[in-house]
């Protein structure tokens, strides 16, 4: 029983048509350059046409196609504005475009997983879904004890569709590379595939969400809904209202943008320190702004949803990140280089100039150099262009650096969060959050004559 949109053959055909269209546009672009048109203008037009086709197809499918689209969505800030406009519009429609499961299928899943008397568990249940995601859809209801709840129902056949789509997308990942400057698409798809089994397991998701809900109970800044009930393919959690971050990005006030950005940065760094878990799906659809923060109803808290993908970090974020960041800010080129070598960011067969590595890192960590930093799409684009331009020393050096597997998910989550901050245009006190929550960023005081981290 599978009610994912389109039969498998049709899904495969739609995804398989993407590289043909991209290759055809590349040939068209080559012809335009032959007749003397600017390579830059042709390149941007190619990006725009590719984005439009890609997200038209992804928006019609669920499974891995939508998951891939969501992962890409946070990087639209890296695109030139004339490309990012239509790209942004396509991404905004991505979740809305996915047709819902038929009501009979939803009821069949609920009966199979919750029992024949499933309807008795609810005082109310809305058949029309409130939201669609990559592997399931959410219905609003009222639990038998009167609590408003979100009922997440997994699409039958979601696992097969997820893997099939990602395998298909992986085959032409190189063609998609130019869509996001400076980003290697293939490792992103590989990492999404590695997480499939976790995301399909609502038991693991319930555990991760409940751990956060308990830790952040009565927190003045962050709200995580409690888990109410869980079974295979069905997850019931408390419902939270609020303004989706996508709406703050499109229409929010500057006050809302700044508050959302600050709280997003705070949650990114405080979550692993407080729960040993890193929320690993930071796209705007998973966050809400709720009124009633520390300063009253006119203030805001951050609501956090969807814990299907997490990184398990029992000791919090690795202290190596904080130590290398601090030493980079202090200009300690040799110490930074030694630490990167020890952690595997520089392979034993590679030898780099420590000062060149420092020059490569400093612009990226600019938000940590100042008391407040305003994240903008222009800044994101400048970083992407610096790293993606083959003529740039940063491009050549970046190709020689290595990303150890244990840092892969942390790296993607950090980049994704920065992408969302740039979409928001938030002014954030990033250094304040790093000092509070990032291990190794603030040197340890010597104890009984022992050296500090900086001196060790």
pLDDT tens-digit readout, 124-139? 999 999 987 667 899 9
User: 326: Cβ–Cβ under 8 A, 6 or more apart, which residues?
Assistant: 440, 441, 442, 443, 454
Q: What is the pLDDT of residue 2?
A: 45
In this predicted structure, the answer to whether residue 43 has a pLDDT above a threshold of 70 is no
Q: Where are the alpha helices (DSSP H) in 35-119?
A: 39-60, 63-73, 81-92, 94-97, 103-114
Q: b or e along 145-178 (b: 16 or more beta carbons within 10 Å of the residue's beta carbon)?
A: eebebbbbbbbbbbbebbbbbbebbbebbebbeb
For residues 98 and 435, the model is more confident at 435
Classified by CATH at the fold level, domain 103-158+198-238 comes out as Phosphorylase Kinase; domain 1 (3.30.200)
Contact indicator for 314, 276 with CB cutoff of 8 Å? yes
Domain ranges of the chain: 8-97+164-185, 103-158+198-238, 319-437
At residue 173 the predicted structure's pLDDT band, cuts being 50, 70 and 90, is low
Q: How far apart are CA 140 and CA 130, in angstroms?
A: 6
Q: Are 296 and 257 in contact (CB under 8 A)?
A: no
What pLDDT sits at residue 29?
A: 33
Question: Which residues have a Cβ under 8 Å from the Cβ of 295 and sit 6 or more positions away?
Answer: none
Over residues 37-41, mean pLDDT: 39
Buried b (16+ CB within 10 A) or exposed e, 217-242: eebebbbbbebbebeebbbbbbbbeb
Confidence of residue 143 (pLDDT cuts 50, 70, 90): very high
Q: Which helix (H) or strand (E) holds 353?
A: none
Instruction: Please return the burial class of 203, using the count of CB atoms within 10 Å of its CB with bins 0-12, 13-18 and 19+.
Output: exposed
How is residue 88 written in tokens? Answer: 């942004």
Those residues with Cβ within 8 angstroms of residue 456's Cβ, 6 or more apart along the chain or in another chain: none
Q: What is the mean pLDDT of residues 40-59?
A: 53
**pLDDT given at position 36:** 37
pLDDT on residue 213: 98
Q: What span, in angstroms and rounded, lies between the C-alpha atoms of 6 and 28?
A: 31
The H or E element spanning position 386 is helix 377-388
Q: Average pLDDT for residues 426-445, to the nearest whole number?
A: 92
In angstroms, the Cα distances linking 256 to 250, 285, 296, 298, 426 are 11, 16, 14, 10, 9
The 3-state DSSP class for residue 203 equals helix
pTM value is 0.79
Of 391 and 312, more confident:
312
All residues at 6 or more sequence positions from 105 whose CB lies less than 8 Å from its CB, including other chains: 1, 3, 156
Q: In angstroms, what is the C-alpha Rg of the chain?
A: 23
Given a cut of 80, whether residue 367 has pLDDT beyond it is: yes
Alpha-carbon distances, residue 161 vs 41, 109, 167, 190 (angstroms)? 37, 17, 10, 15
């Amino acid at each position: 029983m599978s009610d994912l949109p389109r039969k498998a053959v049709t899904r495969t055909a739609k995804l398989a048509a993407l590289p043909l269209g991209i290759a055809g546009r590349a040939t068209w672009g080559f012809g335009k350059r032959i007749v003397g048109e600017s390579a830059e203008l042709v390149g941007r037009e190619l990006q725009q046409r590719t984005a439009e086709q890609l997200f038209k197809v992804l928006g019609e499918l669920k499974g891995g196609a939508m998951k891939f689209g969501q992962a890409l969505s946070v990087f639209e800030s890296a695109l030139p504005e004339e490309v990012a406009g239509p790209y942004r519009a396509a991404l905004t429609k991505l979740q809305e475009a996915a047709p819902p499961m038929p009501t009979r299928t939803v009821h069949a899943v609920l009966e199979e997983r919750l029992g024949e008397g499933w309807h008795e568990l609810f005082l109310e249940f809305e058949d029309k879904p409130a939201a669609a995601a990559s592997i399931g859809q959410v219905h609003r209801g009222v639990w038998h004890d009167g609590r408003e709840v979100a009922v997440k129902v997994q699409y039958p056949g979601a696992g097969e569709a997820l893997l099939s789509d990602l395998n298909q997308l992986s085959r032409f990942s190189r063609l998609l590379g130019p869509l996001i400057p400076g980003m290697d698409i293939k490792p992103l798809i590989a990492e999404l595939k590695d997480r499939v089994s976790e995301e399909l397991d609502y038991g693991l998701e319930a555990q991760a969400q409940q751990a956060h809900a308990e830790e952040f109970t009565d927190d003045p800044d962050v709200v995580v809904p409690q888990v109410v009930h869980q079974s295979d393919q069905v997850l019931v959690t408390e419902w939270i209202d609020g303004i989706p971050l996508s709406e703050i990005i499109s229409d929010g006030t500057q006050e809302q943008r700044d508050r959302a950005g600050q709280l997003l940065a705070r949650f990114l760094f405080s979550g692993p320190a407080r729960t040993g878990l890193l929320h690993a799906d930071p796209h705007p659809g998973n966050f809400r702004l709720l009124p009633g923060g520390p300063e009253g109803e006119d203030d805001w808290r951050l609501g956090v949803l969807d814990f299907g993908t997490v990184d398990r970090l029992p000791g919090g974020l690795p202290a190596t990140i904080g130590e290398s960041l601090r030493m980079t800010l202090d200009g300690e080129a040799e110490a930074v280089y030694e630490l990167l070598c020890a952690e595997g960011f520089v392979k034993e067969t590679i030898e780099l100039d420590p000062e060149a590595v420092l020059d490569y890192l400093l612009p990226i960590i600019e938000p940590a150099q100042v008391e407040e930093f305003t994240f903008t799409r222009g800044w994101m684009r400048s970083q992407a262009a610096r790293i993606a331009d083959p003529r740039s020393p940063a491009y050549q050096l970046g190709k020689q650096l290595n990303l150890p597997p244990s840092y892969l998910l942390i790296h993607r989550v950090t980049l994704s969060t920065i992408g969302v901050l740039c979409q928001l245009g938030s002014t954030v006190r990033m250094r304040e959050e790093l000092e509070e929550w990032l291990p190794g960023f603030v040197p340890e005081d010597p104890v009984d004559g022992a050296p500090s981290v900086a001196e060790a």
